[in-house]
């Protein structure tokens, strides 16, 4: 069986600076995989490379065994990869309901059709409402997304990401800036909605990481220095030296 996501020698340079310096990683289908590392290690850049936002300087990326290295974000999304963003990235002037509905349209086969009305499609609207229910925004569905509270926007971000029913879900710091209780809720939410799917996440909160992840990769200066189960990573001397000491400081300045 092929892995959900494979990276082979992926590199990325901005001008003379190499940010990602040769990543080889394989994430099997159904695994919850966390990528951790200090600030500036290149975690978000790696996300952008996988999801097609940035072009790659070198290397290949395969999604379910198919090469996606040169594809545009929307093509990669259509092949079953959906992602969220570290900085909230929603449709601010559309209603909460519409945000989720837009996340559904392509995957439910509506494409750019201009002969069907979105308001008459029962399955579409019910699915959107179900997702809103899951992310706890059902009662807020008529507000413009731009006026939601921060935590609600983060939840909506996840809602849009999972709406399309992608096989591979990538979440970029889903709990960043949240209070403790909010974080707990989000972790539960993630656990619930990624049931049976592959999850790749970047996260600073070690509690969340060790709670959710099946395996963890540690990214430092554009290289993966360790990959393994939470226990293995926790035990790794290299990780402790290179990274864990820095995490507290990193967390402190994160927000």
Partner 1 sequence: MSATETGSAATGKSGDRTGAEPAWKRVADDQMRRGAFRRTLPVWGAAFVVLMIMPLLFSSAVGVTIMNQMGISIVFALSYNMLLGQGGMLSFGHAVYFGLGGFLSVHVMNYVEYDGWWLPLPLLPFVGGLFGLAFAVPIGSFSTRRAGTVFAMISLGVGELVAACSIIFVAFFGGEEGVSGDRTMGPPVFGSEFLSEVEVYYLIAGIVLVAALFMYLFSRTPAGRMANAVRDNEERAEFVGYSQRYVRFVSFCASGFFAGMAGGLFAINYEILTEENLNLVTSGWVLLMAFIGGVGFFVGPIVGAIVLTLLQTVLSNHTELWQLYVGILFVLTVMYAPRGLTGLVAMHGPALRTGRLGILARAYGAAVVPLLAFLAGVVLLLEMGNVANQSVVGESEAHVFGLTLDVSTVAPWLVALALAAGGGYALVRLAPRLRDAFARATGQAGAAS
Which residues here bind partner 1, judged by CB under 8 A? 51-53, 72-74, 77-78, 82-83, 85, 89-94, 97-98, 101-103, 105-107, 110-120, 122, 125-126, 128-130, 132-134, 136, 138-141, 143-144, 147-149, 151-152, 160, 163-164, 182
Query: In the complex with partner 1, which residue's Cβ is closer, 67 or 139?
Result: 139
Query: In the complex with partner 1, which residue's Cβ is closer, 134 or 203?
Result: 134
Query: In the complex with partner 1, which residue's Cβ is closer, 72 or 229?
Result: 72
Cα angle, residue 131 at apex, residues 128 and 135 outer, rounded to 5°: 140
Pairing mode of beta strands 58-63, 5-14: antiparallel
| Residue 18, burial from CB neighbour count under 10 angstroms (0-12, 13-18, 19+) | middle
In the bound complex, what is the minimum distance in angstroms from residue 61's beta carbon to partner 1? Answer: 16
Query: In the complex with partner 1, which residue's Cβ is closer, 12 or 140?
Result: 140
From 122, 121, 102, 120, select the one nearest 112 (Cα to Cα). 102
In the bound complex, what is the minimum distance in angstroms from residue 251's beta carbon to partner 1? Answer: 23
- Residue position matching structure tokens 């559904």: 104
In the bound complex, what is the minimum distance in angstroms from residue 184's beta carbon to partner 1? Answer: 13
In the bound complex, what is the minimum distance in angstroms from residue 94's beta carbon to partner 1? Answer: 6
The residues near 205 (Cβ < 8 Å, ≥ 6 apart) are 175, 183, 251
In the bound complex, what is the minimum distance in angstroms from residue 22's beta carbon to partner 1? Answer: 26
Query: In the complex with partner 1, which residue's Cβ is closer, 66 or 72?
Result: 72
In the bound complex, what is the minimum distance in angstroms from residue 182's beta carbon to partner 1? Answer: 7
Query: In the complex with partner 1, which residue's Cβ is closer, 91 or 210?
Result: 91
DSSP string, 69-96: TT--HHHHHHTTEEE--SS----TTSBH
DSSP bridge pairs for 33: 200, 215
State how far the Cα of 242 lies from the Cα of 38, in Å rounded to an integer.
Answer: 9
Query: In the complex with partner 1, which residue's Cβ is closer, 17 or 195?
Result: 195
From 76, 79, 51, select the one nearest 171 (Cα to Cα). 51
Which uninterrupted H or E stretch holds 39? none
In the bound complex, what is the minimum distance in angstroms from residue 173's beta carbon to partner 1? Answer: 16
The residues near 197 (Cβ < 8 Å, ≥ 6 apart) are 30, 166, 167, 168, 169
């Amino acid at each position: 069986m092929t892995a959900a996501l494979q990276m082979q020698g992926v590199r990325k340079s901005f001008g003379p600076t190499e940010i990602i310096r040769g990543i080889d990683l394989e994430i099997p289908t159904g695994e919850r995989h966390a990528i951790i590392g200090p600030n500036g290690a290149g975690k978000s850049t790696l996300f952008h490379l996988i999801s097609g936002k940035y072009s790659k300087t070198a290397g290949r990326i395969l999604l379910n065994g198919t090469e996606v290295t040169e594809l545009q974000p929307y093509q990669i999304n259509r092949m079953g990869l959906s992602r969220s963003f570290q900085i909230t990235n929603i449709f601010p002037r559309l209603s909460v309901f519409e945000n989720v509905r837009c996340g559904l349209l392509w995957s439910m086969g509506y494409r750019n059709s201009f002969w069907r009305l979105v308001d008459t499609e029962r399955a579409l609207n019910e699915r959107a409402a179900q997702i809103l229910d899951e992310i706890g925004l059902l009662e807020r569905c008529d507000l413009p997304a731009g006026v939601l509270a921060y935590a609600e926007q983060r939840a909506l971000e996840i809602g849009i990401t999972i709406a399309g029913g992608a096989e591979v879900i990538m979440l970029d710091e889903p709990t960043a800036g949240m209070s403790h209780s909010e974080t707990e809720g989000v972790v539960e939410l993630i656990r619930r909605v990624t049931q049976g799917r592959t999850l790749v996440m970047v996260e600073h909160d070690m509690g969340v990481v060790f709670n959710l992840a099946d395996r963890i990769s540690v990214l430092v200066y554009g290289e993966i220095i360790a990959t393994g189960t939470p226990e293995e990573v926790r035990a790794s001397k290299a990780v402790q030296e290179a990274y864990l000491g820095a995490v507290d400081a990193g967390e402190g300045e994160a927000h």
